[in-house]
Every structure is written in C-alpha cells, then in structure tokens.
A and B are shown apart, each in its own frame.
Chain A
Amino acid sequence: MPVIEITQLVDARGLSCPMPIVKTAQAVKTIPSGAAIELLATDAGSIKDVAAWCKATGNELIEQTSDGTVYRFVIRWI
C-alpha cells in the first residue's frame, strides 16, 4: 500500500458546524490530488458530517480516531 502523505493540518478545534467542513473544503483545494489532510475537531456533529462530506465529494476518509473530546480525521483528496 502506498504511503499517503499528510500535507496539511486543519485545526477546527473549538469551532461549531459548519466550520470544520468549510475549513476542510478550503484546505483540500490547496493540496495535490492523492495527498491527505488531517482534521482536528471538537464538534461532535463532525463525526457524521465529515463522513457525509467525503461521500458527497468523493474523497476518502482513511482514518478516524478520537480521544473523547478531540476527533481526528485523515482525508485523502482524490
């Protein structure tokens, strides 16, 4: 499996809907296709929202972890 490079960190901690998604959408435009971004969010709604965004835009959610307060997503821009 090829190594996916995380080229950008999107810090949306402390921000409510829809800012985690908006910031993600803005960030993926700046990275090359095939690269990935890491998104950090505290908005509990982002668990479902990030998945919905990936599905709608055809991007790939490759990792999703949480420590209970911060949700971390790795999204590959296709």
Chain B
Amino acid sequence: MATTETLAPVDPLAEAIGAADGRPEATAPTETPATTAALAHEEEAEVKPKDFLIIDYSGDLEKTWAAMILASTSAAMGVKTRVFVTFWGLQTFVRDDKRITGENWMQKMMSAMQRPGVSHRKLSKMNFLGMGPWMMGRLAKQYGVASPKELLEIAQEMGVEFIPCQMTMDMFGLKREDMIDGMGEPVGAATVIGLMTDNSVPLFI
C-alpha cells in the first residue's frame, strides 16, 4: 500500500522527462522486449560466420603448400572453405600421372615445359633444377610437415570445395578428365566476385 503511494508521484515526473526528451515514457516499457528481440535477431544475422575463399593462382610449390595448409586448417575450424583454382594454380590440380595436356601444340608445349600435378610443383626461388623441392621434401618429412598432396587430400576429405576456372581450362586445353577427382563445376570470375562480396574472406595466393 505504502509503496504504491510513494511510487505514484514519480510517474508524472518520469513522463514529463520523457516528453521533454521526445520519448514518451509510458509506451517505452511495452516496446522494449520487442525491440530487444529484434536487435538480438539482427545481431545474430550479423555474426553469421564468414566463409573463406582462397584464389589459388601461382602454382609455385611454396605457395601451393601455404594454400593447402590454410584450406585444410580453415575446414578443420568449421569454416566453409572454397578454393578457386586459376592460371598456374590449375596445373596443381591436374592428375599427377598426366604428362602432356592440351589440344594444340602450344598447350602441349606449355605442359611439357612445366609438368602438371600437385607432386611436381617447382619452387619460385632456389628451384635449382629440382634440387630445392627435393630438399624441401626431405626437410618436411624430417619435421613432420604434411606434403601439399597429403594436405590437398585432407582438405577434400574435410569438405573444401576446389573450383576450377573455366577460362583457364579452355586456354590451357584442360579437360575435366585431366583434373583430379572431386573438383567442382568450372566457373568464371563473376562467381568468385559474388562469393567474395557475399560473405567470404578472400585470399589471393
């Protein structure tokens, strides 16, 4: 009884302040739960985890290695991971046992000069006719570092999508059967930009 009487005079005052602020006090409490719920919902939508998109461009041994480490790790962390494979990067995803690819003499010569396949990558520095990659391989084994081929297989197992670039496939004369199993449908740049601007953290390697 006493409480309601003491509280009563407070209300008009609060209303007056509310009115002065332009926020009617009386309606505020009824709106609050709805507003909070809406805000919470919006926040939930905003914190949707980002996808990870690697653009595997170079095809160099060390860069391929880095791309495979990041792809397998991000998949292990529960992040939706895609690798767009383009230009020299596409050579990495040609079957290891393919020696010559392409349809015309230029495409064939390109594959002859640079053997395709994940196990035949060259270092961008200190390649020394294959001595560098050989030493890298020895060191990796010694230190328990998984090879790019192993990491690629792990990444595929963990659901990483490898998406080839249609334009590069055409230019190099690569066919679907030249590529390793489990590659995605070839796409173009617009799909990649679409993924990037949608919800992906992009990385160009």
Contact of B77 among A16, A25, A26, A43 (CB under 8 A): A25
Contact of A22 among B72, B78, B144, B145 (CB under 8 A): B72
**A57 neighbours in B (Cβ, 8 Å):** 77-78
Q: Is the interface of A mostly helix, strand, loop or mixed?
A: helix
Chain B, interface size category, equals 10 to 19
Do A21 and B144 have beta carbons less than 8 Å apart? Answer: no
Contacts between chains A and B (CB distance < 8 A), count = 44
Quick one: closest A residue to B73, CB to CB? A18
Size of the A side of the interface (Cβ < 8 Å), in residues, is 16
Report Cα–Cα, A15/B77, bound state, in Å: 18
Return B74 CB to nearest CB of chain A, in Å: 9
Report Cα–Cα, A69/B199, bound state, in Å: 40
Report Cα–Cα, A26/B157, bound state, in Å: 10
Say yes or no: is B123 at the interface (Cβ < 8 Å to chain A).
Answer: no
Q: Residues on B close to A: CB < 8 A?
A: 69, 72-73, 75-79, 143-146, 151, 154, 157-158
The 9 A-B residue pairs with the shortest CB-CB distance, nearest first, are A25-B76, A18-B73, A15-B144, A16-B145, A56-B77, A14-B144, A16-B144, A22-B76, A57-B78
